[in-house]
Amino acid sequence: MYVRNAWYVASWTQDLEAGKPFAIDILGEPIVIWRNEQGVLTALEDRCIHRLAPLSLGRCEGDKIRCMYHGFLYERDGRVAEIPGQDKVPETARIKSYPVVDRHSWIWVWMGAPELADETLIPPAVGFDNPDYILGRGQLDYDAEARLINDNLCDFSHLTFVHAESFGPGEQFAISTPTVAPLDRGVRFSRWIEASPGRKRAAGNGAPSDTWRTYDYLIPGVLVMTGGDYPVGYAKARDYAPPHIDDAIGGVTFTSQAVTPMTEKISRYFFSWGPHVRHGDEKVRDLLMNLAAKAFAEDKTMIEAQQKIIDKTDAPRVLPSAHDRGVTMFNRLVERLAKEEQQRDASAA
Amino acid sequence: MYVRNAWYVASWTQDLEAGKPFAIDILGEPIVIWRNEQGVLTALEDRCIHRLAPLSLGRCEGDKIRCMYHGFLYERDGRVAEIPGQDKVPETARIKSYPVVDRHSWIWVWMGAPELADETLIPPAVGFDNPDYILGRGQLDYDAEARLINDNLCDFSHLTFVHAESFGPGEQFAISTPTVAPLDRGVRFSRWIEASPGRKRAAGNGAPSDTWRTYDYLIPGVLVMTGGDYPVGYAKARDYAPPHIDDAIGGVTFTSQAVTPMTEKISRYFFSWGPHVRHGDEKVRDLLMNLAAKAFAEDKTMIEAQQKIIDKTDAPRVLPSAHDRGVTMFNRLVERLAKEEQQRDASAA
Amino acid sequence: MYVRNAWYVASWTQDLEAGKPFAIDILGEPIVIWRNEQGVLTALEDRCIHRLAPLSLGRCEGDKIRCMYHGFLYERDGRVAEIPGQDKVPETARIKSYPVVDRHSWIWVWMGAPELADETLIPPAVGFDNPDYILGRGQLDYDAEARLINDNLCDFSHLTFVHAESFGPGEQFAISTPTVAPLDRGVRFSRWIEASPGRKRAAGNGAPSDTWRTYDYLIPGVLVMTGGDYPVGYAKARDYAPPHIDDAIGGVTFTSQAVTPMTEKISRYFFSWGPHVRHGDEKVRDLLMNLAAKAFAEDKTMIEAQQKIIDKTDAPRVLPSAHDRGVTMFNRLVERLAKEEQQRDASAA
């Protein structure tokens, strides 16, 4: 169960070459995306109406794309512009087109009703066009349903166990819980860790500090997270309110992560991470990316193994724990929004 | 939906070693074929009646074949001749046998009622035993249903697009259509291209000519195609009737191609091609085979991608174009023949 | 259809490292097994009750095992001992535990009702702790259901055909039948071969002897086999009763083999083989193991091919032969025991 009226990440901006079609399945639907020489983006159903060949094996011709099986030519709105050997094109010759936006270095596709596409709902990720951060990036394909990755990202207590050898936050971390608060389109997690020891692996001078961590997990499955180190006593002095970023004495980074359900059991995971320009450089970024590469491989091993066990289980059930508050909150939000969509669709029909 | 009362290509004649069983699935049925030392061909169900081991792992013993699991011995007609450790063989101990014929360098298996097997229905392919042509050959396995390859071969407008970099007939080709005519067991495609420029890659002296192309696409999925270059004006002078082969000034070749549905979504594609002895030599043949290798790989890429899209599509539908006349004609013929078979079977039962 | 109240081989004793979880599916159920530093064995359902991650990716902590996804800690009986971040553990937080025993160099898991687990039902295999035999060992995974391997091992007439190039007992072997007798939990096969020529490949001085072979095939799928060479005339003198092992003049070996159904179509086959200390040494053992490696690869080829044919067959049926007496006896025993279990379960419910 997924929300359709939402922006799904399809690709990195920089991976989309002008005039070259790009193929991805989202929610089980084959989609072709291309940018023409003028930079105009188009996303269409990746399926020629003639005999169902993929347009992503086709040829971009200016604003249009041509199926390279028998030459059907498509407009940006999905209408067939030309059928070789035929004077007339039937009115019904049309495939689905998707709203598509390039923002924050990601290509976002709206999977719901096109008339409801609302760019203000694009999650506030930080892209390579943001001069405040020095980012690295990566992506992983999972043999697992996207929901399992969402669950993972809504409960960081797994850091103590899955990432004992990478992030390694220690045993204490797993028995403390963040503040969890609902958002219109997501869940906000935040916590102060007072007088925490200098972090072992990331940036920081090694002296204790009050450490702030906050992230939003947003529909359909996008994480935006920041945080930093502040003088000891700072958190209490602010009565544990979120800090001013300018007060940070180190360790400010930003990570954007997106989980895209490609099919029922295949997902693509996009991520970027890096330090604020005042708190790190390319060397810090590379250090963080090496750490992320190790940690996200640990997640993939665990989640794909979890998927295999689920597949072997008749009527799988879970036993949520105290740490699952955020997981449950996010899943209920997804369910509610998905149900509302279905009711709207039903009453419209 | 396939016609069962038809001859399906199972193998190249030259790939069948005497005394060595050969296995292939046709229409989802496992079949073992062997030729004994005297050259006698046999085709049986590839499934021992004892415990369903494949006879193709067995041993040819003269006219017979022995299952090498527990030693059941089979006659050419499928009856069990011997059960080790047992004096009597039950009357019911029998597997299916198939009519099988070696002709035109192909091994043909009749998948329908044995009593209806009619050798005059074997398509007139050209084999290596024909002294008029200098042939090369190849084969490809497709992860796609055979019908998609049949469709491909009944609409050559795809040459302009799929084969832009190999056969490359040009844009004009895709907007002209051949004459399409029904046959008892297939469809005939033919066309004159008047004053066509000398072909770029194949044989020919480079001067313009009237070019003739004709092929029959025959049940169950066999293409036989020839053609050649004639003096400019020849086509009109004959009122566009088929030419006399002796009048050709160059470029006469013959290609035989067969599409065998192995299972629902796996097919084997056999092909030979080469020049007439008066219009080419081994060098021309090799040139054509290199071209075919490139072009047929292009078809495979497109058709397997098309199959994947179809698999992702609920209730897939097509929108036939003007070029699909031959495709539709062939598919309706298949449907009609298949339905007639089913009715005959039903009334017989 | 398998008997659940039985001991299934999960692993070799020597492959289970202390403190390291080992994963295997048996009858489709994921199971984790570990031995702690004191040597105590535990077998649990390999599925955390929290979110279904496998405990086999977890960490052994003394008597307990911790899921390394979110840190749930389990007792040896399957109860959850600790949930990080939570003071109380619900009563229902419990996974399945399995009786498990280390015996004869195999780790045996009882798949039925734990209260019925009876160690006297463990088949009398010969392990590496037995000083009388010099053993080698191996294992193979089959893409085939276990029943097909059971069938194979209950009808040795296949030796003449499948193993013509390895064991090679000759044509005569396939038309003679062993004595087949029912046991409470299996079938006993035995035979005297009088004045048999010296065996070609295994130990023996090459002179004729009366050869004795006997094996029990036991629930759930365990073969224990021995035999040896005796003076010509010995068999008749004993009126064909089983021999005294001390009378053997050579060739006494022992092989233990176990077939474990991992899933519906994947099985693991464990085997050991070697000479009695009085009839061979490490060199003879290596010779036997080389022979076994060749022969068991032949079985695997045949049985996996058989499985593929079965998978292509609607409503597969077999035609048992005279040699199938033992096969049928064993399968009927399995059916009867399985049915009795189901009736007991039904009346208990």
Chain C within 8 Å of B25 (Cβ-Cβ)? yes
Prior bond to B220 cis, omega within 30? yes
Q: In this complex, do C51 and A175 lie within 8 Å of one another by their Cβ atoms?
A: no
Is the CB of C69 less than 8 angstroms away from the CB of A175? no
Residue B194, token pair as written in the block: 């008047």
Which chains contact B through at least 3 pairs of Cβ atoms less than 8 Å apart?
Answer: A, C
Average pLDDT over residues C160-185: 91
C232 in contact with A, Cβ within 8 Å? no
pLDDT given at position B207: 81
Q: What is the pLDDT of residue A97?
A: 98
Q: Any chain B CB within 8 A of the CB of A68? A: yes
C-beta atoms of C51 and A322 within 8 A: no
CB contact under 8 A, C309 and B93: no
Residues of C in contact with A306 (CB under 8 A): 51-54, 69
Closest residue, chain C, to A300 (C-alpha):
C69
The pLDDT tens digits of the residues spanning A130-166 come to: 999 999 999 999 999 999 999 999 999 999 999 999 9
Asked whether the beta carbons of residue B313 and residue A52 sit closer than 8 angstroms, the reply is yes
Comparing A199-203, B34-38, C72-76, C222-226, the range with the smallest average pLDDT is A199-203
Are the Cβ atoms of C85 and A320 closer than 8 angstroms? no
Q: Do C306 and B51 touch (CB under 8 A)?
A: yes
Cβ–Cβ below 8 Å for A161 and C67: yes
CA-wise closest residue to B82 among B43, B48, B39: B48
The answer to whether A66 contacts chain B (CB < 8 Å) is: yes
Show me where the domains of chain A are located.
7-121, 136-335
Q: Which residues of chain C are within 8 Å of residue B51 when distances are taken between CB atoms? A: 151, 306, 318
How would you write the pLDDT of chain B (349 residues) with one tens digit per residue?
899 999 999 999 999 999 999 999 999 999 999 999 999 999 999 999 999 999 999 999 999 999 999 999 999 999 999 999 999 999 999 999 999 999 999 999 999 999 999 999 999 999 999 999 999 999 999 999 999 999 999 999 999 999 999 998 888 888 888 999 999 999 999 999 998 876 544 444 568 999 999 999 999 999 999 999 999 999 999 999 999 999 999 999 999 999 999 999 999 999 999 999 999 999 999 999 999 999 999 999 999 999 999 999 999 999 999 999 999 999 999 999 999 999 998 998 8
**Average pLDDT of chain C?**
95
Using omega within 30 degrees of 0 as the cis cutoff, is the peptide bond preceding A220 cis? Answer: yes
Same fold? C7-121, C136-335: no
Are C69 and A162 inside 8 Å of each other by CB?
yes
- Please check the confidence at residue A204 and state whether its pLDDT lies above 60: no
The domain B7-121 belongs to what CATH superfamily?
Rieske [2Fe-2S] iron-sulphur domain (2.102.10.10)
Between chains, do C309 and B69 touch, taking CB under 8 Å as contact? no
Calpha distance A247→A303 (Å, rounded): 38
Which residues of A are less than 8 Å from C92 in CB distance? 319
Mean pLDDT for C318-324 is 95
pLDDT, tens digit, 9 for 90 and up, residues A30-79: 999 999 999 999 999 999 999 999 999 999 999 999 999 999 999 999 99
Instruction: Considering only the beta carbons, identify the residue of B50, B83, B92 that sits closest to C318.
Output: B50
Superfamily classification of domain C136-335: Naphthalene 1,2-dioxygenase Alpha Subunit; Chain A, domain 1 (3.90.380.10)
Provide mean pLDDT across the span A321-330. 97
Q: Does A104 touch chain C (CB under 8 A)?
A: no
Query: Looking at chain B, which residue has its C-alpha nearest residue C147?
Result: B51
B70 contacts on C by Cβ (under 8 Å): 155, 157-158, 161, 174, 321, 323
Count of beta carbons in the 10 Å neighbourhood of residue B339: 12
Instruction: Give chains near A: 3+ CB pairs under 8 A.
Output: B, C
Look at residue C222 and tell me whether its pLDDT is greater than 90: yes
Among A151, A302, A312, the residue with its CB nearest the CB of C30 is A312
pLDDT of A201: 40
Question: Could you say which of B151, B161, B319 has the minimum Cβ distance to residue A68?
Answer: B161
Q: What's the mean pLDDT in C15-27? A: 97
* Identity of the residue in C25, C29, C84 whose CB atom sits nearest the CB atom of A175: C84
Which residues contact residue B319 at a Cβ distance below 8 angstroms, ignoring those fewer than 6 apart?
A49, A50, A90, A92, A93
Q: Are A50 and A56 in contact (CB under 8 A)?
A: no
**Structure confidence at residue C211 (pLDDT):** 93
Q: Are A231 and A207 in contact (CB under 8 A)?
A: no
Helix axes A146-153, A325-348, angle to 10 degrees: 140
Give chain C's length. 349
Contact assignment for A68 to B308 by CB distance below 8 Å: no
Residue A202 confidence (pLDDT) = 47
**What percentage of chain A exceeds 70 in pLDDT?**
97
**Of C76, C132, C135, whose CA–CA distance to C105 is shortest?**
C135
Cβ distance B319 to A69 less than 8 Å, yes or no, reads no
Sheet with A73-74, strands from edge to edge, namely A59-61, A64-66, A73-74, A80-82
Distance CA C171, CA C133 (A): 31
Q: Which residue of A has its CA nearest to C262?
A: A312
Burial of C238 (0-12, 13-18, 19+ CB in 10 A): middle
Q: Considering only alpha carbons, which residue of chain B is nearest residue C306?
A: B53
Q: What residues contact C283, with CB distance under 8 A and at least 6 apart? A: none
Q: Residue B46: CB partners within 8 Å, gap ≥ 6?
A: B23, B30, B31, B32, B54, B55, B56, C309
To the nearest whole Å, the CA of A204 is away from the closest chain C CA by 28
The answer to whether residue B93 neighbours chain C at the CB level (below 8 Å) is yes
> pLDDT at residue C312 above 90?
yes
Residues 122-151, chain C, touching A (beta carbon < 8 A): none
At which residue do the structure tokens 């199972």 appear?
B10
pLDDT for B202: 47
CB contact under 8 A, B84 and C301: no
Whether residue C200 has pLDDT greater than 90: no
Q: Is B321's CB within 8 Å of A28's CB? A: no
Residue A273 clears pLDDT 90, i.e. is over it: yes
Tokens of A202: 């990331």
Rounded average pLDDT over A263-273: 98
